[in-house]
Structure 1
């Protein structure tokens, strides 16, 4: 049995507007309904924007890190600002090389400086940076079958063996969770090594429950199941 990372779902007051922003920034195509930024190759996942009237309160549990080749950090920042981003002060120090921005609905993102060796080879969308415990990093490693590429001082990170973006958790102190996260992951069953077909949603849900997830109820889509990881962050297992 195995699960693939299908998409990052993001709550949005204006899903089409936010999808257009991220498609322009990532230089990817948008789905026919205008609400999903499509992956451009197999190591990427989609960004899907879900209509929501919920007000953003505080920092998100997840934010995106974009990488830079030599001398192109300023060009990425300029493109983001032209698309509707704004500069954001989250307490970063003047000597830190990354630039913090907010998308048109206030979701934080960082444009990482060129020469960052930690994200080398990850692609332009280099990382989902999450607030979370070491234990939740181990949960996600087992859930997706992605090896830990960092596990030190309470911080963890995983990456698909095929490459692509890392998913990382910053360790303690973890901000208290208040309400539903604005961002959550959708996972879909895929065929594991030696399997001719993927397992069903129910089988994968049972496996995640055994790893420490809890059941929340039905997901946004027909046949989907909503769960919470050991830190209480929402996720959905959706049919293939």
Structure 2
């Protein structure tokens, strides 16, 4: 039995991931953005930790509160925004929630045996613009900012795999799933959106016992070439450290 934290797990893919893990007999902890979402969580058997990933202070407090896990699944994220919005920290919201928050949690929490970062097939059209990660100078484009953040999630997963060889760090494209984020026209059912990360988190299958890989439907795929670029990985880590004041140690 593994102890697993699933971020963003009060609904959608995160909730389904947690439910599948519970059915397999694992010890699961949910994560909610706020107390209202925690109270409405759909898995009363699982405890809930609370922290808004759009706040550096709350993200850091969440890391301290959550404790140690065998597996952390970084599922939380937001979709393309219609306009550029800044958080309480003065940071662009999509970048902070989708990329900076998992960086901070990774850096501050005790190292698990396995890390799984959710990305999207749109990482393939993402751009790793290290000179303007937050769209401070270039024109705002919500779906491009989302795609960029999902590429950066893959780069983060690969960077952690390189820096922490004893930890299995992978990225997963869950597919286009019918959720609030995916919308009613999405092509795939909710269980499909969770199955691969559950497999990577818990299976003894040699195909899952890997690190620095990108998966969809248990298939090892090639990610956007920028994700493999060590200069991109190191630049992202340096930018996240500068913004958060938190460093990933080797």
TM, length-normalised to structure 2: 0.30
Larger radius of gyration: 1
> Could you tell me the TM-score, scaled by structure 1's length?
0.31
Structure with the larger strand share: 1
Give the helix-richer structure, 1 or 2: 2
